[in-house]
Copies of this chain bind each other. A is one copy, B any other.
Amino acid sequence: MVVSEVVPVVAVLGRGVVDAADPVLTADDLGLTRGDGCFDSARVVTAPSGAARVVDLDEHLARLAASAAAMAIDPPTHEQWRHLVTQALAAWSTPGEAVLKLLLTRGREWRPSGSTAIVTITHRGPALPTTRGGAHTPPRSITAVTLSRGHPSDAFTDAPWLLGGIKTLSYAVNAAATREARRRGADDVIFTTTDGFALDGPTSGLVVARDGVLTSTPTGATGILESVTVAAILEAARGDGLGAAYDLVPVPDLYTADAVWLVSSGRGPVLVTVLDGRALRVDDDLAAKVSRYAGF
């Protein structure tokens, strides 16, 4: 939960920037009544001067458009999104790290409305220390637990109605799993399949290092979300002479890996140092490299 003293920015397609406390959604919006919509999140970096930029906005807009197409939601054009993002950025000047969220719902149920499109920007805190240029900062780390996602690793094969790979607004299970982790005294979750493989986190991708190879869960049959940041890490790792692969990782292999990360566009790669109460190996040099690969 982001509880910030910096007032967030909200911009609504057709209305522009509104007060963050103003209601923006009707009671019959299918994004509310059925979680029938999709979203994407991107990193915002704002300079001390107040100039803000969105990292990889094109990639996030492309992914959101793919989500909308898979859900048969008629989305705004990229130009409309860009205009809305520009309006939101113009109202944002808090230096440091922030998260841009693009929300898209199917729109109203009771009368034709077209889709509902909303952009929000929320503060995450001061600018992150960077490992660029050789500065060596301690890796950020969390504890996690494994929790079953309730399905086998091939559940999403030929079943597009299960919405695998799509960042839908139907995230109640992700939120409940995170609460279960907290209840167990951990920070986050690595979901697992009923046939014993690791998937991803409720709001993050998974990267596992072993013997000089970085591995992440394949998308597709597993139903997990494609991660822009995971892809950037694996591509940079390959360019840096490391191995990189999309392969299913058996759950027991997590405990003996050289390092395990949960990765999101907002917070970058974060090391998992304890999993299910067991200490994991941490390779500081590798951690610094992976942060750099992700641009953090």
Q: Which residues from chain A sit less than 8 Å from chain B, CB to CB?
A: 1-4, 8, 10, 12, 20-37, 39, 71-72, 101, 103, 105-106, 109-112, 118, 120, 122, 147-152, 155-156, 159-163, 168-177, 179-180, 194, 223
Q: Closest approach, in angstroms, between the C-beta of A179 and any C-beta of chain B?
A: 6
Contacts A23-B25, A28-B20, A111-B3 known; A34 to B159 CB distance under 8 Å? Answer: no
Q: Closest approach, in angstroms, between the C-beta of A146 and any C-beta of chain B?
A: 12
Interface of A is mostly: loop
Known A-B contacts: A4-B110, A25-B25, A150-B151. Give 20 more (CB < 8 A).
A2-B109, A23-B24, A23-B25, A32-B32, A32-B169, A34-B169, A35-B169, A36-B175, A71-B172, A110-B122, A147-B161, A149-B162, A150-B155, A151-B151, A155-B194, A160-B180, A161-B173, A163-B173, A168-B170, A170-B170
With CB as the reference atom, state the residue of chain B lying closest to A148: B159
**B150, A110: Cβ atoms closer than 8 Å:** no
Residues of B with C-beta under 8 A to A24: 23, 25-27
Residues of B with C-beta under 8 A to A161: 147, 173, 176-177, 179-180
Task: Please pick, from B27, B36, B174, the residue contacting A34 in the complex, using a CB distance under 8 A.
Answer: B174
Number of copies: 2
With CB as the reference atom, state the residue of chain B lying closest to A168: B172
**A29, B25: Cβ atoms closer than 8 Å:** yes
Residues of B with C-beta under 8 A to A159: 147-148, 150
With CB as the reference atom, state the residue of chain B lying closest to A7: B110
Question: Which of A72, A111, A173, A179 has the most chain B CB within a 10 Å cutoff?
Answer: A173
Q: Closest approach, in angstroms, between the C-beta of A255 and any C-beta of chain B?
A: 21
**Distance, CA A106 to CA B89, complexed state (A):** 28
**Distance, CA A174 to CA B36, complexed state (A):** 9
**Distance, CA A20 to CA B109, complexed state (A):** 11
